[in-house]
Amino acid sequence: MSENTTQIHEVVRQRYGAIARSQGSSCCGGNTASASQDNLIPLYDNQLVATLPAEVTDLSLGCGDPVTIAQLRPGETVLDLGSGGGIDCFLAARQVGDSGYVIGVDMTPDMLAKANANKVRMGVHNVEFRKGQIEALPVTDRSVDVIMSNCVINLSPDKPAVFREAYRVLKPGGRISVSDIVTEGEFSPELRADAAQWAECVTGAIDAAEYTDMMRAAGFVEIEVVSKLDASGLIPVQEGMPRIFSARITARKAE
Ligand SMILES: C[S@@+](CC[C@H](N)C(=O)[O-])C[C@H]1O[C@@H](n2cnc3c(N)ncnc32)[C@H](O)[C@@H]1O
């Protein structure tokens, strides 16, 4: 692993460890609706999250709802990249039912501790949280029906590796549904080097076309940017930055 990758992972781990310990701070959203009142991006349908405990919804740090676009079916095996406090895993667990299984992978120990405490609190048995990096997934080849991810891949310093790993663990015909921060245009090298803003889901984001090109290079087909909403109310945007969006992107591994 390169020195840059290790450094970014460390800054990201520190930020999300602190958020997990203080529970309820905000990052990419900070709640089940956008933190901003000016430019509200709805994250989840109210009915979907209404019965989740506050400990789960308060630690929702995503920028969209990858569960709903994944259109999960009973019995499916689902993998959540960067599962945080577990909100999307718990929603997915309900949809795949007892015959299905959900794996959440996260590299931040304090986040995993919160997710596991939430699992016990909810009495859920078909969810497992694994410690690991999304660039080197602790998951067997061709074992997963659906991958989802919510506001995480933008944080990775090695996005091509994330997509290669996602492709490796998907079964043939498997699908991926992500909500993520993307841009139109590039950040300057100075902004890219700002590790604090990277960890806030800002300066690690890449142009949507580059993002989908990376997915294609990993082997994905039927890549679709389902929606792209202005994210300036969701994350701290400054002058001199490219336009920033919360996008929902789906794709498939060929049969
Ligand atoms: C913005 S939060 C999103 C959490 C969750 N998906 C949600 O919607 O609430 C990002 C999460 O991804 C994890 N993460 C970031 N980069 C990662 C990486 N390279 N490998 C594994 N986990 C990572 C962080 O520890 C954090 O829990």
* pLDDT value at residue 93: 98
C-beta separation of 237 from 244 below 8 A:
yes
* pLDDT value at residue 30: 47
Nearest residue (CA) to ligand 1, atom 14: 82
The alpha carbon of 203 and the centre of ligand 1 are apart by a number of angstroms equal to 15
Lowest mean pLDDT among 63-72, 181-190, 232-241: 232-241
Residue 204 has pLDDT above 90, yes or no: yes
* pLDDT value at residue 34: 41
**Greatest Cα-to-Cα distance within the chain, rounded to the nearest angstrom:** 50
The alpha carbon of 11 and the centre of ligand 1 are apart by a number of angstroms equal to 12
Ligand 1 test: best mutation among 25, 83, 108, 152, most atoms within 8 Å of CB? 152
What is the overall mean pLDDT for the chain?
92
Ligand 1 test: best mutation among 12, 26, 67, 148, most atoms within 8 Å of CB? 12
β-strand partners of 225 = 249
> Which has more pLDDT, 50 or 172?
172
Could you tell me the pLDDT band of residue 233, with boundaries at 50, 70 and 90?
A: confident
The alpha carbon of 3 and the centre of ligand 1 are apart by a number of angstroms equal to 20
Cα(216)–Cα(158) distance, rounded to whole angstroms? Answer: 15
User: Average pLDDT of 184-196?
Assistant: 95
User: Average pLDDT of 3-9?
Assistant: 90
The alpha carbon of 58 and the centre of ligand 1 are apart by a number of angstroms equal to 15
C-beta separation of 126 from 101 below 8 A:
yes
* pLDDT value at residue 24: 54
The alpha carbon of 176 and the centre of ligand 1 are apart by a number of angstroms equal to 17
Cα(157)–Cα(135) distance, rounded to whole angstroms? Answer: 9
The alpha carbon of 33 and the centre of ligand 1 are apart by a number of angstroms equal to 18
Residue 131 has pLDDT above 80, yes or no: yes
Ligand 1 test: best mutation among 102, 107, 135, most atoms within 8 Å of CB? 107
Share above pLDDT 90 across residues of the chain, in percent, rounded to a whole number:
84
Global pTM value: 0.94
Residue 135 CA, closest ligand 1 atom number: 19
Residue 2 has pLDDT above 90, yes or no: no
Q: Which residues line ligand 1 (CB under 6 A)?
A: 9, 12, 16, 27-28, 60-62, 82-85, 87-88, 106-108, 111, 133-135, 150-152, 155-156, 201
CA dihedral 126, 131, 132, 138 (to 10 degrees): -50
Could you report the per-residue pLDDT of 19-50, keeping only the tens digit for each? 999 975 554 544 454 433 333 346 898 899 99
Nearest residue (CA) to ligand 1, atom 10: 152
User: Average pLDDT of 14-18?
Assistant: 97
* pLDDT value at residue 43: 85
| Residue ranges of domains in the chain, CATH in brackets | 3-252 (3.40.50.150)
The alpha-carbon radius of gyration of the chain (Å, integer) is 17
